[in-house]
């Protein structure tokens, strides 16, 4: 590295097991895992790295499957690190990438703002929600975004308008080597008790319909146009299907669970089996919403 660890103010760990940082509770080690103290610290860390070192970002670790061989290069961990959130004089709300989406929904409701309630149902941080236009209960992240703040591989900060991006269903046109570190949300006024009640209703619905008490990665597949991945998986007869310690949830078939001792390989194999089975029996090729990354563990 160009700078010594002492010049950085975050926490650097080497050969850190990533299973501790993912909602599936699987994944091999990262060569380096860095917990930054601030956005400025992220800039310094990126500038300290060799130019050819790969960089992966993790927040709550949902919607991502880290393979058993782990990740080469650096992982920047934002949860509990990039955690600033506050009002601005222009009426926008500044939120950093490591803030859980549920906290944004809670803050908006407390300030009598309306339209952000759906964020309570997204089990991730704002950085991940921005990167994939995460959604829940009919709402999508980018419907609230006015501007974003990014950092590039050289450690430079960039501010862009929401209109600079092509945004679709679970997709955002982010340039390679750029990552969201904060956003400016425009959430309309008009909430109050109704917003808080709606959040409670959405969370109750999520608890009733999704397996929230067992390790999973969230929804595995995107919904195809005019249909639902869960329905297609269910009618294919795959509820409860198990490979190793990985199981298709019987509560919500678009969730794959770690029922105790799953490896990332078990989960990836089950994802492939579900995808192939649905295509063969229903004629629909499901597209994964979960991002699969890292190295396959060598035998």
Active-site positions read: 170, 219, 289
DSSP state letter for 205 = H
3-state SS assignment for residue 67: coil
Give Cα separations from 6 to 12, 41, 43, 212 (angstroms).
10, 12, 15, 40
CA distance linking residue 176 with residue 174, whole number of Å: 6
CA distance linking residue 23 with residue 64, whole number of Å: 8
CA distance linking residue 174 with residue 295, whole number of Å: 24
96 token code pair: 């950093």
The shares of helix, strand and coil residues in the chain, as percent rounded to the nearest 5, are: 30, 25, 45
CA distance linking residue 220 with residue 53, whole number of Å: 29
DSSP state letter for 133 = T
Beta-carbon neighbour count of residue 52 at 10 Å? 6
């Amino acid at each position: 590295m160009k700078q010594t660890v002492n010049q950085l103010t975050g926490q650097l760990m080497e050969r850190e097991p990533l299973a501790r940082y993912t909602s599936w509770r699987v994944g091999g080690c990262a060569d380096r895992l860095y917990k930054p103290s601030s956005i400025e610290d992220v800039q310094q860390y990126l500038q300290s790295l060799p130019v050819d070192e790969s960089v992966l970002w993790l927040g709550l670790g949902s919607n991502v499957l880290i393979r058993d061989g782990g990740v080469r290069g650096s992982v920047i961990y934002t949860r509990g690190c990039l955690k600033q959130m506050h009002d601005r004089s222009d009426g926008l709300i500044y939120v950093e990438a490591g803030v859980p989406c549920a906290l944004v929904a809670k803050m908006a409701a407390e300030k009598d703002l309306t339209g952000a309630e759906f964020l309570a149902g997204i089990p991730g941080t704002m950085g991940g929600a921005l990167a994939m236009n995460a959604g829940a209960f009919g709402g999508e992240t980018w419907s609230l975004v006015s501007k974003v703040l990014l950092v590039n591989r050289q450690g430079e900060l960039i501010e862009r308008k929401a209109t600079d991006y092509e945004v679709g269903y679970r997709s955002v046109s982010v340039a390679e080597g750029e990552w969201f570190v904060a956003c400016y949300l425009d959430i309309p006024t008009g909430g109050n008790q109704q917003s808080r009640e709606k959040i409670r209703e959405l969370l109750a619905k999520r608890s009733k319909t999704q397996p929230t008490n067992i390790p999973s990665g969230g929804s595995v597949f995107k919904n195809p146009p005019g249909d639902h991945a869960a329905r297609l998986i269910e009618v294919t007869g795959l509820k409860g299907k198990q490979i190793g310690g990985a199981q298709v949830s019987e509560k919500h078939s678009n969730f794959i669970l770690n029922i105790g001792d799953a490896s990332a390989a078990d989960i990836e194999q089950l994802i492939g089996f579900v995808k192939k089975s649905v295509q063969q029996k229903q004629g629909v090729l499901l597209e994964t919403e979960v991002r699969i990354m890292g190295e396959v563990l060598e035998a």
